[in-house]
Structure 1
Amino acid sequence: MKPFQLTYTAKDSGLLREALHDWGISKRTLASVKYSGGQILVNGNEVTVRHVLEKDDAVTVIFPNEELGEGLIPEAGQLQIVYEDEALLIVDKPPLQNTIPSREHPAGSLANIVANHFEVNEIPATLHIATRLDRDTSGLVCIAKNRHIHHMLSMQQKGKMMKRRYDAFAHGKFAEQKFVITEPIGRKDTSIIEREVRQDGQFAETEVEVLQEFDGFTHVELGLNTGRTHQIRVHLSHIGHPLLGDDLYGGKRSGISRQALHCKSLELVHPVSGEPISFTSPLKEDMEQLIYAKR
């Protein structure tokens, strides 16, 4: 299959290296282009990054094809594709599925199934998962098809240009209808898995909005302004409203066998076209049933 490539137009004269940096191409990506079979062309001629550009020069970066890592075994399975093009794959992950293989669950992960999708469709890519979800959490996952696109998405996340919203069911009733939790999160001293609010942790911020109250729990919408491990789960538990089903952080597994958390929407700027794009995912059946049971 033809390798992924992008073409840019030089706005001014100057060093090619500087223009590539301005276009968001990282040093690591440039190294892979140089040493792993890629090319940089100016007006159709191969050049090095020391080339001096003239205004309106056409610069084409041909990225090397990537191969799946040896440890990732492609597996056939159901894959709910929400969007796909040469740069991105957006999928809707079911609950109780790992995003990547783990020691406890070495097979059946989303990554295994996406690897099979790439192999069957002869897509020369490895997996670059930009928005990972916990095993229990369902909803939208964004996957880049090459290193450069992953870098561009990471820059969007750091610049808060990528926005994710979550549906969650939390124990109890909230005193406020709309508020922000800003508490640092770090690893718990007594566990390699659990996180907690602690003053020496990393800055973490979660937006909370109450949508509807039920008998015993509240449906809330959440927005992440940072992406710490277990952030939503830790923050809600810290304020006394753990997620339903989240027994690791104080929730009760009555009526649901996993934490009641779902990534409902994803907004980003397409890393190639520059156009804003957005996707949504409806609540999964097990969370819907909790609502129906209370009506």
Structure 2
Amino acid sequence: MSRTISFLIEPQFDGMKIYDYLRKEQHLSYRLITSLKHISEGIELNGVHARTIDHVKAGDVLSVTMPPNKNNSEVSDIAVPIVYDDEDVLIYNKPADMNCHQSRRVQNDTLANVFAAYCCEHNLSLTFRCINRLDKNTSGLVLLAKNQHAAALLKNAAQKEYLAVVHGVPAQKTGMVDAPISRINDIYTKRQIDINGQPAVTHYELLAEGEGYSLIRLKLETGRTHQIRVHMACIGHPLAGDDMYGGDTSIIKRQALHCSRMIFTSPISGKLVDATAALPEDMQKALESARIYRQYE
């Protein structure tokens, strides 16, 4: 199914070229505009095919129609909860032990395969566009864009919160870790603190503490691979279950990390979306094992 978006031209844009309006005012990518030029109904002005060099007038209706994209992924029958869904975006509550993307070694039962099943069910042909990829063993909210324009507008636009169970209790109830991160080598996926690495900033807040563990909330300024895991380990509080970075697996068998909240404006409808996902059962049990009973916000 194609996605058509229409724009009512306001007086201040009178006389502007269609290309400039789409690129500068509506933030369509150069690649998308170029592809629309070669589709008969790709760009229309007042219902008539238009060129990017044509000019708009106040009161005109400019429409762009993005064609469906082919989805070649095999479908998966695994049920993953959908937290939010509209014409342009979808949010899943991904379980642990599930990859977001397919890879050479993993072709089935990824979130991409789950999305392929969703597309079949709704008679859609959409590419899997994951805005915030989570590690295989990190659970929680994953945002997908259903078209190229939404994907471009959503880049770095969502505010995300994570909950984690960590070893020990941070000395400060709130804190920030500002430490660059790099990959150890081209073969191993493990990351490290490296003065020459990519900038990375993590903010944390202590929510509750128990016997040898604590529950923290985290917000990121950057989105580096393994950022939370590396940063908490570097300040002496590795995630419970995260044996790659020094965590113990006695109360949970995977890194105790969950994307619990996501706030953003749906890119085309303009609707404010505030999505949440409760802690999964294994993290709830980890809290019980650590005797962390105090309620958190």
Q: Give the TM-score category using the shorter length.
A: over 0.9
**Higher mean C-alpha deviation, range 186-195 or range 205-214:** 186-195
Change (3 A) 1:134 1:38: farther
**Higher mean C-alpha deviation, range 11-20 or range 101-110:** 101-110
1:29-80 deviation line (CA, Å, top 9, x unaligned):
1122223665111111110110111112110111111111x4x222222121
Task: Please tell me whether residue 106 in structure 1 is matched to residue 79 in structure 2.
Answer: no
Query: What is the aligned partner in structure 1 of residue 140 from structure 2?
Result: 139
**Higher mean C-alpha deviation, range 37-46 or range 282-291:** 37-46
Task: Please tell me whether residue 272 in structure 1 is matched to residue 263 in structure 2.
Answer: no
Q: Taking structure 2 as the reference length, what is the TM-score of the superposition?
A: 0.93
SS in 2 for 1:202: coil
Change (3 A) 1:278 1:211: same
1:152-205 deviation line (CA, Å, top 9, x unaligned):
111xx1xxx410000001111111110111111111138520111101111111
Task: Please tell me whether residue 9 in structure 1 is matched to residue 15 in structure 2.
Answer: no
Task: Please tell me whether residue 49 in structure 1 is matched to residue 48 in structure 2.
Answer: no
**Higher mean C-alpha deviation, range 102-111 or range 135-144:** 102-111
Query: What is the aligned partner in structure 2 of residue 178 from structure 1?
Result: 174
Query: What is the aligned partner in structure 2 of residue 249 from structure 1?
Result: 245
Contact 2:42 2:66 in 1 (8 A): yes
Change (3 A) 1:37 1:212: farther
Q: Taking structure 1 as the reference length, what is the TM-score of the superposition?
A: 0.93
Query: What is the aligned partner in structure 1 of residue 295 from structure 2?
Result: none
Contact 1:38 1:64 in 2 (8 A): no
Query: What is the aligned partner in structure 1 of residue 67 from structure 2?
Result: 64
Change (3 A) 1:273 1:29: same
Shift of 1:292: 1.9
Task: Please tell me whether residue 225 in structure 1 is matched to residue 216 in structure 2.
Answer: no
SS in 2 for 1:166: strand
For the residues of structure 1 that align with 2:173 and 2:45, how far apart are their CA atoms?
56
For the residues of structure 2 that align with 1:217 and 1:24, how far apart are their CA atoms?
45
Q: 2:145 is matched by which residue type in structure 1?
A: A
Q: How many residues align structurally?
A: 287
Contact 2:176 2:201 in 1 (8 A): yes
For the residues of structure 2 that align with 1:64 and 1:183, how far apart are their CA atoms?
43
Unpaired runs of 5+ residues, structure 2, are: 292-297
Q: CA RMSD in A?
A: 1.4
1:2-26 deviation line (CA, Å, top 9, x unaligned):
x101011112211111110110111
Contact 1:37 1:64 in 2 (8 A): no
SS in 2 for 1:219: strand
1:231-259 deviation line (CA, Å, top 9, x unaligned):
00011111111100001111111121100
For the residues of structure 2 that align with 1:223 and 1:7, how far apart are their CA atoms?
35
SS in 2 for 1:265: strand
Contact 2:165 2:240 in 1 (8 A): yes
Contact 2:40 2:49 in 1 (8 A): no
For the residues of structure 2 that align with 1:290 and 1:167, how far apart are their CA atoms?
12
Change (3 A) 1:190 1:52: closer
For the residues of structure 2 that align with 1:73 and 1:36, how far apart are their CA atoms?
28
Change (3 A) 1:7 1:48: same
| Equivalent runs, 1:181-196 vs 2, <5 Å | 181-189=177-185, 191-196=187-192
Residue identity over aligned pairs, in percent, reads 34
For the residues of structure 1 that align with 2:68 and 2:261, how far apart are their CA atoms?
30
Q: 2:260 is matched by which residue type in structure 1?
A: K
Contact 1:79 1:114 in 2 (8 A): no
